[in-house]
Amino acid sequence: MSTSTTAVLDTPRGVEEHAATRLKYRSQAVAKPYFIAAIGLFFGQIVFGLIMGLQYVIGDFLFPEIPFNVARMVHTNLLIVWLLFGFMGAGYYLIPEESERELHSPKLAIITFWVFLVAGALTIVGYLSVPYATLAKLTHNEILPTMGREFLEQPTITKVGIVLVALSFLYNLSMTVLSGRKTSVSLVMMLGLWGLAIFFLFSFYNPTNLVLDKYFWWYVVHLWVEGVWELIMGAMLAFVLIKVTGVDREVVEKWLYVIIAMTLISGIIGTGHHYYWIGTPGYWQWWGSIFSAIEPIPFFMMTLFSFNMVNRRRREHPNKAAVLWALGTGVMAFLGAGVWGFLHTLAPVNYLTHGTQLTAAHGHMAFYGAYAMVVITMISYTMPKLRGREANSRGAQKLEMVSFWLMTLAMVAITLFLTAAGYVQVSLQRMGTTPMPFMVAQDHAATYYWLREASGVVFFIGLALYIISFFVKGKTDEAAH
């Protein structure tokens, strides 16, 4: 880095010029609004998480204004939407760089952004402003009833919107890849994103037969989070690791293929761990138990992968925060998805734990560790570049790393307390000769719910610091560069 460029970087004016010096391709800049929206929606998700957490112990909190089911719908839907914004931002940043050309249509990417944001916002406003049955009526759910199923609560018209947004996004990226350099990272990313769109189509299939409904509902939910999303995660992590460690691409991409091979070899048939008790044949207990017992392996390899690459690094990247997030997602994905998944995946164990707080414990740490953290890894690496610098100032990075530890440790605590609550629930309500009714057992777990809520407050503080870290100024430390 020449002295003159460094001098330019230190002046606040000429942001456009800065961005141009830091981005390989100008059109990568479209990723920025996607990442900002992702962080904003993440904030909303956590606010509603805190509301729900409190409703677990103060049952009538905000009732009837925000009943639990509404808060939950907002909490989970915001999660999905902010992760999708994150994946899309990652795609728009990563694909041009890997393809070594400008994005096919930056304009389309910006239009798509606004369509997705407005559709998402209207849906959330709909959840909060009218009763769900009214929303179903207003959006003519009766034409093609798809509402009212967990995570797929969006009105049918919103689902159609999601498909259109996905198509526009995939068209834009596919055209870019097809006319540019094809790398394993971009190929895996595209496979994951196309898979995401294709499996979402099962959300339009809602037969009256409850067993068929549930069976194919998992084609969306499981084949997303334990299938194609892991491809997206792997590609994003590989991209950032190549950039921050300088390790040879061939090595990184070999790891990537081995990891995602294990993901799909274990994860596709692993869907069977959802088919134990919903009316499906008993043989799924064997298929599901055996294959989902293998599911932690690709996640463990993800941990080894991130540490290995960082240990073999050929450069000291000035963005220490991004490296920390990359290592963190490797570890936390393994703990949340791998270890906490395995805890209750074997059929005889699941017979007792199915549909308890243990599932919630696993869900929280897995989503945070695998998907929230990999999106933040990507944001952490790209956002300074999108704002015209190689890395943030030392002060900003320090605060970001404090937020990493607060959020991550808070999530560990949330997981442990929910696991304890699940244990109470299983032992009191599912076992013994005189099992307790649901609500009686819940009262016995109240202490753990309070501790979970307190951990949630810590998480919220961590998130607030994370957002503040974007506004910390100071000199960029590029000495090591």
Partner 1 sequence: MSASFTKSTARNIFYGGAVFFFLLFLALTFDTTQALPKRDNRVNLTEQVARGKNIWETRNCIGCHTLLGEGAYFAPELGNVYQRRGPEFIKAWIKGQPTGAPGRRQMPQFHLTDGELDDLVAFLKYSSEINTNNWPPNIEG
Binding to partner 1 by residue 63, rule CB under 8 A?
yes
Binding to partner 1 by residue 258, rule CB under 8 A?
yes
Q: d(Cα 393, Cα 233) in Å, to the nearest integer?
A: 27
| CB of 399 vs partner 1, minimal distance in Å | 35
Q: d(Cα 120, Cα 74) in Å, to the nearest integer?
A: 11
Binding to partner 1 by residue 447, rule CB under 8 A?
no
Between residues 33 and 288, which has the closer beta carbon with respect to partner 1?
Answer: 288
Alpha carbon distances (Å) from 194 to 6, 85, 170, 200, 453: 40, 15, 7, 10, 37
Binding to partner 1 by residue 430, rule CB under 8 A?
yes
Q: d(Cα 211, Cα 346) in Å, to the nearest integer?
A: 21
Binding to partner 1 by residue 69, rule CB under 8 A?
yes
| CB of 100 vs partner 1, minimal distance in Å | 19
Between residues 14 and 59, which has the closer beta carbon with respect to partner 1?
Answer: 59
Residues 363-422 that bind partner 1 (CB under 8 A): none
Residues 272-291 that bind partner 1 (CB under 8 A): 272, 274-282, 284-285, 287
Q: 36, 47, 128, 212: which one contacts partner 1 (CB under 8 A)?
A: 212
Binding to partner 1 by residue 254, rule CB under 8 A?
yes
Give the burial string for 22-60 (b: 16+ CB within 10 Å, else e).
Answer: bbebebbbbbbbbbbbbbebbbbbbebbbbbbbbbbeee
Alpha carbon distances (Å) from 438 to 14, 345, 434: 62, 22, 13
Between residues 25 and 307, which has the closer beta carbon with respect to partner 1?
Answer: 307
Binding to partner 1 by residue 60, rule CB under 8 A?
yes
The 151-180 site mask, x for binding partner 1 (CB under 8 A), equals: --x---------------------------
Binding to partner 1 by residue 435, rule CB under 8 A?
yes
Between residues 245 and 285, which has the closer beta carbon with respect to partner 1?
Answer: 285
Q: 352, 402, 413, 451: which one contacts partner 1 (CB under 8 A)?
A: 352
Binding to partner 1 by residue 54, rule CB under 8 A?
no
**Looking at 17-25, 175-183, 258-266, 399-407, which segment touches partner 1 (CB under 8 A)?**
258-266
| CB of 313 vs partner 1, minimal distance in Å | 17
Q: 37, 38, 39, 73: which one contacts partner 1 (CB under 8 A)?
A: 73
Between residues 175 and 251, which has the closer beta carbon with respect to partner 1?
Answer: 251
In the DSSP assignment, the letter for residue 65 is T
Q: 214, 313, 394, 398: which one contacts partner 1 (CB under 8 A)?
A: 214
| CB of 234 vs partner 1, minimal distance in Å | 10
**Looking at 12-20, 118-126, 271-279, 331-339, which segment touches partner 1 (CB under 8 A)?**
271-279
**How many Cβ atoms sit within 10 Å of the Cβ of residue 268?**
14
Residues 232-251 that bind partner 1 (CB under 8 A): 250-251
Binding to partner 1 by residue 260, rule CB under 8 A?
yes
| CB of 408 vs partner 1, minimal distance in Å | 24
Q: 112, 168, 176, 271: which one contacts partner 1 (CB under 8 A)?
A: 271
Q: Count residues contacting partner 1 (CB under 8 A)?
A: 78
Between residues 95 and 441, which has the closer beta carbon with respect to partner 1?
Answer: 441
Between residues 291 and 368, which has the closer beta carbon with respect to partner 1?
Answer: 291
Full 3-state SS string of the chain: CCHHHHHHHHCCCCHHHHHHHHCCCHHHHHHHHHHHHHHHHHHHHHHHHHHHHHHCCCCCCCCCCCCHHHHHHHHHHHHHHHHHHHHHHHHHHHHHHHHCCCCCCHHHHHHHHHHHHHHHHHHHHHHHHCCHHHHHHHCCCCCCCCCCCCCCCCCHHHHHHHHHHHHHHHHHHHHHHHCCCCCHHHHHHHHHHHHHHHHHHHHHCCCCCHHHHHHHHHHHHHHHHHHHHHHHHHHHHHHHHHHHHCCCHHHHHHHHHHHHHHHHHHHHHHHHHHCCCCCCCCCHHHHHHHHHHHCHHHHHHHHHHHHHHHHCCCCCCCCHHHHHHHHHHHHHHHHHHHHHHHHCCCHHHHHHHCCCHHHHHHHHHHHHHHHHHHHHHHHHHHHHHHCCCCCCEHHHHHHHHHHHHHHHHHHHHHHHHHHHHHHHHHHHHHCCCCCCCHHHHHHHCHHHHHHHHHHHHHHHHHHHHHHHHCCCCCCECCCCC
Binding to partner 1 by residue 253, rule CB under 8 A?
yes
**Looking at 108-116, 330-338, 377-385, 432-440, which segment touches partner 1 (CB under 8 A)?**
432-440
Binding to partner 1 by residue 255, rule CB under 8 A?
yes
Binding to partner 1 by residue 72, rule CB under 8 A?
yes
The 124-153 site mask, x for binding partner 1 (CB under 8 A), equals: -------xxx--x----x---x-xxxx--x
Between residues 195 and 462, which has the closer beta carbon with respect to partner 1?
Answer: 195
**Looking at 30-38, 49-57, 156-164, 310-318, which segment touches partner 1 (CB under 8 A)?**
49-57
Q: 429, 455, 469, 476: which one contacts partner 1 (CB under 8 A)?
A: 429
